[in-house]
Structure formats: structure tokens, C-alpha cells
Structure 1
Amino acid sequence: MNTRLEALPHRHVLTLPTLPAAVRAARQTAEQALTEWGVNPRHPAIGPALLILSELVTNSVRHAAVLSPQVTVIYAAGVDCLAFAVHDRHPYQPPLYGAVTGTGTGGLATVMELTLGLGGTAIVRADADGGGKSIWITLPL
């Protein structure tokens, strides 16, 4: 996929405490935003996208909360593309593609399997100060 995220016309940002309830809130907000943006909830990418989002927020809650009191989710969509990022202030940057090559396990392996299976992309972007990161997922619609 070669979609420029800046070109996506729909955007929403949600910041939550890094607590277990963030997973449900992030998913419900995604469902509401997609409905408002006219994305068909029965599109074959939507179910997997919501699972990917849930896994990424869960990872922030489980592994980053000690250094990151908040998690931020950025949602974006266009006619043929869905993108979202999960940001926390923990400096560790997981090797996303290690999950695909067999060195990763659990939720991140699921995230990568679903993302790549849908023809999507995944990238980790470090904060400018190196104190946090965002994991961006882009999926075709």
C-alpha cells in the first residue's frame, strides 16, 4: 500500500488512561467512527481491523502502563484505506516483522498475520525524543 496518511480525509484521536477499559473504549470508538464515515461494517477487513486494534491497545496496557499513563489511538480512513495508530510513551519498539518470521508470539504475531493477510502494512514510529512510539497499521478497504 502506498497511501499517504495525510491524504486520508477522515480522522479521529482518542486518548485514554492506560487501563484495561481502554481496549473496549478504543474498539467502540473505532466502530462508531467507521459508521460515521460511511464504512460498511460488514466489509471483510473490519472485523480483523478491530481485532488488530484491540491487540495493540492491550499490548500498551500490559507492557507500557508503567511508563505511559495514557494511550492514544489515531483513527483515519479514506475511500479505499483504513489506518490507525496506537501510541504510548514506553520507549521499547517491538520488532513487528519478527512476529512473522517465527521469533514473535502472542498478540503481536496475530497482529502481523492479520495485517499482512489483508494486504496491509505495519510500521513502528519512534517519538522524536525516543521516549515513546506509535504502531501504525494501514489496511486496504
Structure 2
Amino acid sequence: MSTQLEALPYRHVLTLPTEPSAVRIARETAEQALVEWRIGLRHPTVDPALLILSELVTNSVRHAASLSPQVTVIYAASPDCLAIAVHDRHPYQPPLYGAVTGAAGGGLATVMELVLALGGTAVVRADADGRGKSIWITLPL
């Protein structure tokens, strides 16, 4: 799996209002991008990746909308790697790996179980000003 995100040749960026319709639009956009990049929607990583994306955008809508009027989704891929990032301007950085051990739960626990089961990685990256963050997920294809 490629670990250099800047080396991923396929990219798409989508910015949406932080409202419930963002979840559907982000998922539909991911499906369109995957088709354009010739990654089959029946690939075994695609359904879990779409669920992960939906959970992360849902979390931004539910928990960050008060401080973040927009959510940005970054999609990137190579022949052997799919990366998804969800960015909002809320400063809270959830403990991703704590979700697996019980320190957090709900959607993040599902996200992390899927990421780990697929042999992927997850990381939270704070914005330079500390007022927002991106959650990056990489999955092997």
C-alpha cells in the first residue's frame, strides 16, 4: 500500500455545507470518482470505505456544524491504495484508536474496526491554527 499520500495520482476535493445532505452527496461523489478511476464498485474495499466515509461525514454534521459551516472531503487513490479525508473546523480531535478499546464508541468504533480489519490506517491531523482537523483513512486495494 502506498503511504505517500501526495504520490496518489487520482484526487478529488468536495466542500459542502455541514448539514445532513452532505452525507449522501459525499457518498455519491465517492462512487462517481471510483468509477472514473476504474476502481470497481464491487471491489471488496469499496463498501466498507463508503461506510467509513458516511460515518465520518455524519460525525462532522452532528458534532462540528456549530463551529464549522462547511465540511471538506478529499478522495485520493492509486492502483493499490484508497485514501479518504474528512475535514471540519471544529477543534476536537477524537481518539481514533481509543474507539476500538472503548474510550469512544458509536460510529468511530465502527470506522476503526473496519479500518483495522482491512489493514488500513487512520490518523487525525490538526489544522495549523488548531481550530480544525482532518481525519485521514487509507485502505489497501
- TM-score class normalised by the smaller sequence: over 0.9
- Mapping of residues 7-46 of structure 1, within 5 Å: 7-46=7-46
Q: Distance in 2 between matches of 1:109 and 1:119?
A: 15
SS at match of 2:85: strand
SS at match of 1:139: strand
Q: Which residue of 1 aligns with 2:121?
A: 121
Code of the aligned partner of 2:100: V
Q: Shift of the alpha carbon at 1:2?
A: 5.2
Q: Which residue of 2 aligns with 1:85?
A: 85
Code of the aligned partner of 2:110: T
Q: Which residue of 2 aligns with 1:65?
A: 65
Q: Shift of the alpha carbon at 1:8?
A: 0.3
Q: Which runs of 4+ in 1 moved over 4 A?
A: none
5+ unaligned residues in a row in structure 2: which ranges? none
Query: How big is the alpha-carbon RMSD for the aligned residues of Structure 1 and Structure 2?
Result: 0.7
Paired residues, number? 141
5+ unaligned residues in a row in structure 1: which ranges? none
Percent of aligned positions that are identical: 82
The question of 1:53 aligning with 2:53 is answered yes
Higher mean displacement: 83-92 or 1-10:
1-10
* TM-score, length of structure 1 as denominator length: 0.98
Q: Distance in 2 between matches of 1:64 and 1:136?
A: 17
Q: Shift of the alpha carbon at 1:102?
A: 1.7
